[in-house]
């Protein structure tokens, strides 16, 4: 059994060439201040109500679907629940894009999984970089609609924190009518609820909205997300999703997280987090090290520094943030998740030291 074998030769070409998604956990780091994955600093506690696991779970747990539908203001047949919003991103490609022929459009700087999912599945992709004000370049999108089946946009956008102009989203929907679906990733919408386009489902059969329990709901470890769309789209996604996508304990906890009482708690936490965000922004504004703090409608802020060493400096102190400098037009930009008061203060104190050294 000592003949050499190169397993890589057997791997699909697109997978061989793939750079996997650089998730916060994959990048690693050592420290005690973790502000690199837009997680919540609040750890909720749940008790399982379903204690036996000998049976398969409900494919689409009714209570979760009903509660999420009520919360989002849609009908139950307009909801599909998935293993995080990430799974929904991929389900759409699996259902709508012909490998080797169709492609997706995505608009960087933005969330990395649209590209990675397309590359994993061997589907084409076209990056239409956002304009300087971080709004959609509609002219360029229109010129690239050929063979495009899915257009992924993100609002509030990760990592820039801005929301997209509603008129632009409408123009995009009109542009794509009959040829592509428009997927609006609303992973952070709880921090800017009035900007949701969920009510537009009534008018746009090709609109899809992605949601998650990972951010405002403080349940990143649960892996539970949703796609909202009209029934014909949901029915197609039901065809390609795994038979039992949600483990029984996940469905159990998701249903609890969506109870009336817990929804109220979540809303209060959003208010607190926005206060924490304002506190952090006020403190950072005093530092000459800081070039710009961009307006944020989410649980993170994007900060541009005039010193390239800030990320590494904080990293070495055990303060782990998310470097964004490789994204288009984001040189020297770092994304900082809004953590607890203590975590935010750790960032402020470390930056103050660095800033004072520079002066």
Residue of 57, 61, 84, 108 that binds ligand PLP (CB under 6 A): 84
- Shortest spacing between CB 133 and ligand PLP, in angstroms: 19
Between 40 and 212, name the residue whose CB sits nearer to ligand PLP: 212
Q: How far is the CB of 182 from ligand PLP (least distance, A)?
A: 15
Q: Based on the number of CB atoms within 10 Å of its own CB, is 279 exposed (0-12), middle (13-18) or buried (19 or more)? A: middle
Closest CA to 185 of 195, 177, 176: 195
Cβ-based nearer residue to ligand PLP, 221 or 309: 221
Q: Which one of residues 40, 155, 158, 196 is an interface residue with ligand PLP (CB under 6 A)?
A: 158
185 is a site residue for ligand PLP (CB under 6 A): yes
Q: Which of 358, 64, 6 is nearest to 219 (CA)?
A: 64
C-alpha closest to that of 22 among 284, 325, 313, 330: 325
CB of 55 to ligand PLP, least distance (A): 26
For ligand PLP, give the closer residue by CB, 87 or 289: 87
Find out whether 122 and 113 touch, Cβ atoms under 8 Å.
no
Tell me how far CA of residue 244 lies from CA of 58, 79, 92, 96, in angstroms: 7, 16, 17, 21
Please tell me whether residue 111 binds ligand PLP under the rule CB under 6 A: yes
Burial (CB count <10 Å: 0-12, 13-18, 19+), residue 208: buried
The nearer residue to ligand PLP, 109 or 225, going by C-beta atoms, is 225
* Whole-angstrom distance, CA of residue 262 vs CA of residue 190: 14
187 near ligand PLP, judged by CB under 6 A: yes
Rounded to a whole number of angstroms, the minimum distance from the CB of residue 224 to ligand PLP is 7
Among 40, 86, 323, 346, binds ligand PLP (CB under 6 A): 86
Nearest approach, Cβ of residue 218 and ligand PLP (Å): 12
Q: With binding defined as CB under 6 A, does residue 68 bind ligand PLP? A: no
Q: Which stretch binds ligand PLP (CB under 6 A): 17-25, 46-54, 80-88, 249-257?
A: 80-88
Choice from 214, 230, 269, 337 touching ligand PLP (CB under 6 A): 214
DSSP E strand stretches across the chain: 33-34, 79-82, 103-106, 124-127, 148-154, 181-185, 207-212, 225-228, 290-293, 300-305, 319-320, 322-323, 333-337
Q: Are 38 and 299 in contact (CB under 8 A)?
A: yes
Q: Is 154 in the site for ligand PLP (CB under 6 A)?
A: yes
Residue from 41, 69, 80, 85 binding ligand PLP (CB under 6 A): 85
Binding stretches for ligand PLP (CB under 6 A) = 38, 84-86, 111, 154, 158, 185, 187, 212, 214, 220, 225
């Amino acid at each position: 059994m000592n003949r050499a074998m190169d397993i890589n030769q057997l791997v699909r070409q697109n997978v061989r060439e793939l750079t996997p998604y650089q998730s916060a956990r994959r990048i690693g780091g050592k420290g005690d201040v973790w502000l690199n994955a837009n997680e919540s600093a609040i750890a909720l506690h749940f008790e399982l109500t379903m204690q036996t696991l000998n049976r398969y779970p409900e494919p689409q747990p009714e209570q979760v679907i009903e509660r999420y539908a009520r919360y989002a203001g849609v009908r139950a047949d307009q909801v599909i629940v998935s293993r995080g919003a990430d799974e929904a991103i991929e389900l759409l490609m699996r259902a709508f894009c012909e490998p080797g022929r169709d492609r997706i459009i995505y608009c960087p700087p933005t969330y990395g999984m649209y590209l990675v999912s397309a590359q994993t599945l061997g589907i084409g992709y076209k990056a239409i970089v956002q304009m300087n004000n971080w709004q959609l370049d509609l002219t360029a999108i229109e010129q690239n609609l050929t063979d495009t089946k899915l257009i992924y946009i993100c609002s509030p956008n990760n990592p820039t924190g801005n929301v997209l102009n509603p008129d632009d989203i409408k123009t995009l929907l009109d542009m794509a009518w009959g040829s592509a679906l428009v997927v609006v990733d609303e992973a952070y919408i709880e921090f800017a609820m009035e900007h949701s386009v969920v009510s537009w489902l009534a008018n746009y059969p090709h609109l899809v909205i992605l949601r998650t329990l990972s951010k405002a709901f403080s349940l990143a470890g649960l892996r539970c997300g949703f796609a909202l769309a009209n029934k014909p789209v949901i029915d197609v996604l039901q065809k390609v999703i795994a038979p039992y996508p949600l483990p029984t304990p996940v469905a159990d906890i998701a249903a609890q997280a969506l109870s009336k009482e817990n929804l109220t708690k979540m809303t209060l936490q959003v208010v607190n987090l926005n206060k924490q965000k304002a506190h952090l922004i006020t403190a950072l504004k005093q530092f000459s090290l800081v070039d710009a703090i961009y307006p944020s409608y989410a649980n993170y802020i994007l900060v541009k520094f005039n010193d390239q060493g800030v990320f590494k400096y904080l990293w070495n102190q055990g303060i782990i943030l998310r470097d964004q400098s490789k994204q288009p037009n984001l040189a020297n930009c770092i994304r900082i998740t809004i953590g607890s008061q203590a975590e935010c203060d750790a960032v402020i104190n470390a930056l103050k030291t660095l800033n004072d050294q520079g002066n």
